Amino acid sequence: MLPLRAWPAAARRAIAGVLTDIDDTLTTEGAITPDALQALHALAARGLPTIAITGRPVGWSEPFALAWPVAGIVAENGAVTLTRGPDGTLRKLYLQDEDLRRANHARMQQVAGRILREVPGATLSRDSGGRETDIAIDHSEFAHLPPEAIAQVAAIMRSEGMNATVSSIHVNGWYGAHHKLSGARWALRELLARELDAERERWVYVGDSTNDVLMFEHFPHSVGVANIRRFEPELAFKPAYVTAGERGAGFAEVAQALLAP
């Protein structure tokens, strides 16, 4: 991971938009900081759209999709896209139809019950009430699970046929082939009528943890905010660059680099 200042100016000037994680990337201690929010406004004013891609639930993401100057938020690891309609009201786009979501929801509750029974200290995330297409076990937001328990949670999810990823705060599990990268492709197509893979060198991805590895691998221009160093030994693919600041301050650095003359 090179320092962000090593990002060539010509490459920065060619960037057409920003894809970013939310928790511990845009936010600091659970809230967006003024510098990160101002960075979003500055990017939008320059005509650089931002799409946030998160493991957070639909219900948690809705107010931010309306309040933040973003083109959209892809929630629940690629399952739902939230955006403002022409009249300013919230639009929700689902990858799976209602019948499939209902069936998967019932299966996931059974898996969640197994995890709570078998993994000492495991608890559902506090935002679980807003989840529609996945489940989340808290490991670092309001609870603490040791590494071996985190690994056990992910292993149970996978043994039940689920996808499982570990973010900076939760272990997320879901049924379906979607993930952050497929969600980004879908969102760009639906919201901006653009094909991500045809212009992946014109997008930068910003993240902070192991569930961003697929994005770090895919995008030649990828940035980790400084707190990613806690996960560095576990990253199969690392971001190309790393900021000096952590969390929201790091995201503001990325915006500043993109907006520099």
Handedness of CA 64, 66, 67, 73 (dihedral sign): positive
Which sequence spans correspond to the domains of the chain? Answer: 2-92+178-259, 98-174
pLDDT band at 261; cut points 50, 70, 90:
confident
| 236 φ/ψ angles, rounded to the nearest 5 degrees | -70, -35
What percentage of the chain reaches a pLDDT higher than 90? 98
CATH topology of domain 98-174: Hypothetical Protein Ta0175; Chain: A, domain 2 (3.90.1070)
Specify the pTM: 0.92
Q: Is the pLDDT of residue 131 over 90?
A: yes
Say if CB 118 and CB 148 are below 8 A apart. no
Per CATH, 2-92+178-259 and 98-174 having the same topology is answered: no
Architecture of the domain delimited by 2-92+178-259? 3-Layer(aba) Sandwich (3.40)
Q: Is the pLDDT of residue 30 over 90?
A: no
| pLDDT (mean) for 82-107 | 96
What pLDDT does 41 receive?
Answer: 98
